[in-house]
Structure 1
């Protein structure tokens, strides 16, 4: 009898654990399906113009070209200067507008753009999240964390909100720990809001981003920035697209 009870208990725990795992996987899969991830990845590359402003001042005005698998990308500024990334290596022109933010610019804005297609990347960990905001019933919400050693900042986290009406990501709260520590970053969380989705060859892509201060239990607080994306096109590229000139500087 004792052996039977233990067997039943183990089976029950296994079922509960399996159910929990499936629910977590289902959250990311549901969103990626709504964002047409497989169709997105069937294209080689995508390019678009991005104008980004914070505090009323223009922060970035460039053309971005990315491989859809996120392994390579290039930011080309109006003065012809470029930032090129190839996996974990970054190359840039000496005429870059802001040399101090080269690595940040290389990876941050492309990650926000590709975010809906990276929810099940290696190292991602999904956790239940108790959304206590007033309009919590409008969203599917979970928290994304990362395994140790994932990317430049594995201590970052995201609270992801998908609109229940279409499962598209509407906003994501986050912390940035790449230049600091988690404890300090959690004192100043922010959020990105994805708006004005447009159908680009069968893939819904947000053409307007808003950046906010964010507070747990309250949500979006004060708008601090915005971005506009335009001329979005899926394209084919050649090796020269991501090849730095001989005089480019590099960081890794």
Structure 2
């Protein structure tokens, strides 16, 4: 009799655990579906897990420690994700007047999705939903540039240093340099093969040794559609001109970009001015906000 009672009790406990585990899996599945399909409601536990993993990974190397210190100085990786969706106006203005790119955009910093609206006509929109690039515009003059390439490009300016927290990112600590009168800790960022649309890109961050803020960064563009036979554009250097703090995160308000040279400070010809404004965070967006709009064209 006692054995029977024990077996029944054990079966009841196992059934309860199984039901509890099933419920947990169903709850997790619901959260995943919300996150992937609707693009919102990132659980705090997911943020904690990602930040903890990044902290452990980055602080295992000297280069990673510099990057982590920069993240802390700019407001902290946890705050970056917990703030939600980032919106800003990014006005990229080559000094020769050609190829101006000015849009108001919202970025899902967790899932790397983006949606841009034209400054002159709010009905002209393009985006990246995590799988496909799409555009809905009255004609080809609405966005006279490669919107597929540009969808996530601005976040790699305004989102530094946070955009380098993920796996598949390689960090190398280079010798310190003096830049515009201040000593800089220098970290080179490269990518594993197959990561992103231009895995041969690199960035060289200048992190102020005193403030730990990103003062400048060098970079190349190796986008395969621009360079189908390999290679890349000449190296550029982008310099922070001013900063503002929004919901605890330090952003550059404007940049100046130069051709990179071997001269003092590495500043060659001044080629581009960038203004960043209307910066804000939001905890939610509309359902399917980043998805292709009805009547939009999918870009191959």
- TM-score normalised by length of structure 1: 0.83
Larger radius of gyration: 2
Q: Counterparts of 1:168-187 in structure 2 under 5 Å?
A: 168-178=213-223, 179-180=226-227, 184-185=231-232
* Matching residue of 2:117: 76
SS at match of 2:159: helix
Distance 2:205 2:228 in 1: 21
- Deviation per CA, 1:138-195: give whole Å up to 9, x if none: 1111211111111111111111101122111111101111122797426x11122223
TM-aligned CA distance change 1:118 to 1:206, over 3 Å: same
TM-aligned CA distance change 1:162 to 1:208, over 3 Å: same
Kept in 2: contact 1:155–1:182 (CA 8 A): no
| Count of aligned pairs between the two proteins | 232
SS at match of 1:242: coil
Establish whether residue 119 from structure 1 lines up as the match of residue 164 from structure 2: yes
Distance 1:217 1:70 in 2: 39
Q: What is the aligned-residue RMSD (CA, Å)? A: 2.4
- Deviation per CA, 1:198-250: give whole Å up to 9, x if none: 01111111110111111246422221001111121111312242232221011
Task: Using the TM superposition, name which of 88-97 and 195-204 deviates more.
Answer: 88-97
* Matching residue of 1:228: 275
* Matching residue of 1:64: 105
- Deviation per CA, 1:84-122: give whole Å up to 9, x if none: 111231111143523651112112122222232122211
Kept in 2: contact 1:133–1:217 (CA 8 A): no
Distance 1:39 1:182 in 2: 41
Kept in 2: contact 1:43–1:68 (CA 8 A): no
Task: Using the TM superposition, name which of 127-136 and 95-104 deviates more.
Answer: 127-136
SS at match of 2:100: strand
TM-aligned CA distance change 1:114 to 1:134, over 3 Å: closer
Distance 1:41 1:247 in 2: 32
Q: Counterparts of 1:21-170 in structure 2 under 5 Å?
A: 21-36=60-75, 37-57=77-97, 59-77=100-118, 78-79=120-121, 80-95=123-138, 97-98=142-143, 100-130=145-175, 138-170=183-215
* Matching residue of 1:12: none
Kept in 2: contact 1:44–1:237 (CA 8 A): no
Structure 1 gap segments, 5+ residues each: 1-19
Structure 2 gap segments, 5+ residues each: 1-58
Kept in 2: contact 1:171–1:194 (CA 8 A): yes
- TM-score normalised by length of structure 2: 0.70
* Matching residue of 2:251: 205
Deviation, structure 1 residue 70:
4.7
Deviation, structure 1 residue 30:
1.1
SS at match of 1:138: strand
